[in-house]
A and B are shown apart, each in its own frame.
Chain A
Amino acid sequence: DTGVSQDPRHKITKRGQNVTFRCDPISEHNRLYWYRQTLGQGPEFLTYFQNEAQLEKSRLLSDRFSAERPKGSFSTLEIQRTEQGDSAMYLCASRREGRNTEAFFGQGTRLTVV
């Protein structure tokens, strides 16, 4: 299976700890997106990469959040000094260049901050 993969699938952490998630997109996809989904809500856009360049960050992404895509392939999302409100499903998606190309989603990383 060469779909979008995310690691880990689940993460439980204590408040105040740092966590890092990884996303491996489909190999030929140069666009990569991070979304956050809380219970009972639709996904919310966090940030977007075109190759290694981070082109847009949502206001939802506070200073505690940082995302990278150093070589234009995999991406990491780090949350520093986690808070209980950070508990959510973090979704990664990728797509090829092009106007009508489809975004493919990973299975997500579920973060629980206790």
Chain B
Amino acid sequence: GDSVTQMEGPVTLSEEAFLTINCTYTATGYPSLFWYVQYPGEGLQLLLKATKADDKGSNKGFEATYRKETTSFHLEKGSVQVSDSAVYFCALRDDAGNNRKLIWGLGTSLAVNP
């Protein structure tokens, strides 16, 4: 079945460092891909998404490009801030089906130190 694999955390960076969180997926169809963020004590929030190959999702300085050839959707940010400390989840959704449930990675915890 469909699955998502993302790099294990925790990731610890200094403020203004470059961030990459790797995400790869396995899917039989042509899924949409998502990054969600979970700040401490809060619910999951959509960070960015891409619905087809070569699309780039971007939000709040974060970017991810849907790479069909490498089945990847790596999350990047050029200069992280302390406020980016959170858990980041990569997810896919099979849009060919009716229920459109999300399949999730395990999450990557990011801690940014001042």
Interface size on B, residues (CB 8 A): 23
A89 to B114, CA, bound (A): 30
Size class of the contact patch on chain A: 20 to 34
Chain A residues contacting B105 (CB-CB under 8 Å) are: 42
Question: Once bound together, how far apart are the Cα atoms of A33 and B104, in whole Å?
Answer: 14
Give residues 61-96 of A contacting B (CB, 8 Å).
91, 93, 95
B contact residues around A48 at 8 Å (CB): 99, 101
- Residue from A4, A31, A40, A104 within 8 A of B100 (CB atoms): A31
Q: Are A102 and B49 in contact (CB under 8 A)?
A: yes
Name 18 A/B residue pairs within 8 A (Cβ), A-sorted: A4-B43, A31-B100, A33-B102, A40-B106, A42-B4, A42-B104, A42-B106, A44-B104, A50-B98, A55-B98, A56-B99, A93-B44, A93-B102, A100-B32, A100-B95, A102-B46, A104-B46, A107-B42
Interface residues of A (CB under 8 A from B): 4, 31, 33, 35, 40-45, 48, 50, 55-56, 91, 93, 95, 99-100, 102-108
